[in-house]
Structure 1
Amino acid sequence: MALAVCLLFDARSERRVRDLWSRLEDAGISTLASHTHRLHHPHLSYAVLLDWELAPVHEALCALPAADPFSLSLHGTLAFPRGRAALAPALAPDVGMRQARVVTAVEVAGAELHHHYRVGRWLPHVSIATHAQGTRLASVVRMISDLLPLTLQVDRAALVDSSTGETWPLPHLL
């Protein structure tokens, strides 16, 4: 399927997202908790690669400068086609520059980038629901808005194979 360059959250932040996933699952709404291999982590993806060689991509990302952990402030819900819903973050300007560096690095490493992650097309989000259409989407929006505003702490990065859940931690935050 795909390889994602993911920003991951500290334990408290991850627990908050997983708690939301659990509440939605209890309401009969599919989330990343029950999607595909069930090994998903709450995350924000900088890039999704459709074709890649792991070693050159990993090496290119390890060569990027280390970045500091940061807070991700979430203020709303995004609705995507096919019933996908996500948390909508506000980002500091340097996070957009970080994403652009990651995109350049993976493309130079020979990876094929999904078009939604190209610089200028990236819509940052934290995935929540995977199949929330019609009235279920309204339930997702209500449950998310009951939580907001929400602040999550980004403290590490990893490569994640979306087809297997296999994860390769990166040595520093990007």
Structure 2
Amino acid sequence: MVAAIELYFDGDAQARLRRLWDALESAGVPSLREHTHRRHRPHLSLAVARRLDPEPVADAVRGLLPPDGLTVEFTTVGQFPGRVLWLGPTVRPDLLALHLAVHERLSAAGVEVAGVYRPGVWVPHCTVSQQVPWAGLARAVGLCLDALPITASLRSAAVVDHTRGLYRPID
């Protein structure tokens, strides 16, 4: 999966997450800082697909992010298969409502997304590493736990397609 609707954090939270990326890199754990094209921003993905056409997707979900943003608090560390390490926010009704609204609009527009991002299945998270070396796992989890909690305001969003190098802000 290489295309997504990503939510971005306020400056303070983004700086804290980038410092965590730096700490992971210093400990020999690859972070998103150095992953693939090296243009990743700390984010929370609402939907992911093999391909998303930026204009129709942005049009479909425009106006859903509250004007004052949405506050989340990262309080947990988790891991997905493939040694993907992430921070998880406390799940709140407003975050779930935003996620559901995005998927309702995407479905109405005929946009297919990955099953693990659909309502009722989605695990909200901010990925910090895509491939934690087994030997560095305990250290990586410790660095993540030391960084928590992180309160973040979700302030902006974009449709991104990393394979095609596309980035389309959502108004």
User: Do these two structures clear the TM 0.5 threshold for a shared fold by scoring above it?
Assistant: yes
* CA deviation map 1:100-143 (0-9, x unaligned): 11112122222220111111000000110111142311111100
For the pair 1:42 / 2:42, whether they are aligned, the reply is: yes
Q: Unpaired runs of 5+ in structure 1?
A: none
Are the aligned partners of 1:52 and 1:110 in contact in 2 as well (CA < 8 Å)?
no
> CA shift at 1:156, angstroms?
1.2
> CA shift at 1:83, angstroms?
1.1
**Structure 1 residues 139, 119: CA separation in 2 closer, same or farther (over 3 Å shift)?**
same
For the pair 1:115 / 2:115, whether they are aligned, the reply is: yes
Partner of 1:89: 89
Supply the distance in 2 between the matched residues of 1:66 and 1:134 (Cα, whole angstroms).
Answer: 38
Are the aligned partners of 1:37 and 1:163 in contact in 2 as well (CA < 8 Å)?
no
* TM-score normalised to structure 1 length: 0.90
Partner of 1:20: 20
Question: Aligned with 1:113: secondary structure?
Answer: coil
Q: Name the aligned partner's letter for residue 53 of structure 2.
A: E
Q: Unpaired runs of 5+ in structure 2?
A: none
Supply the distance in 1 between the matched residues of 2:21 and 2:82 (Cα, whole angstroms).
Answer: 18
* TM-score normalised to structure 2 length: 0.92
> CA shift at 1:159, angstroms?
1.1
Partner of 1:169: 169
Alignment of 1:57-76 (within 5 A): 57-62=57-62, 64-67=63-66, 68-76=68-76
Q: Name the aligned partner's letter for residue 115 of structure 2.
A: H
Structure 1 segments of 4+ aligned residues over 4 angstroms from their partners: none
**Structure 1 residues 38, 59: CA separation in 2 closer, same or farther (over 3 Å shift)?**
same
Q: Count how many residue pairs are aligned between Structure 1 and Structure 2.
A: 170
Q: Name the aligned partner's letter for residue 97 of structure 2.
A: M
For the pair 1:105 / 2:105, whether they are aligned, the reply is: yes
Question: Aligned with 1:169: secondary structure?
Answer: strand
> CA shift at 1:74, angstroms?
1.1
> CA shift at 1:78, angstroms?
0.6
Supply the distance in 2 between the matched residues of 1:139 and 1:87 (Cα, whole angstroms).
Answer: 15
Partner of 1:134: 134
* CA deviation map 1:5-61 (0-9, x unaligned): 111011111111011001111111111111111110100011112243332212111
Partner of 1:54: 54
Question: Aligned with 2:143: secondary structure?
Answer: helix
Are the aligned partners of 1:87 and 1:127 in contact in 2 as well (CA < 8 Å)?
yes
Supply the distance in 1 between the matched residues of 2:127 and 2:44 (Cα, whole angstroms).
Answer: 8
> CA shift at 1:79, angstroms?
0.8
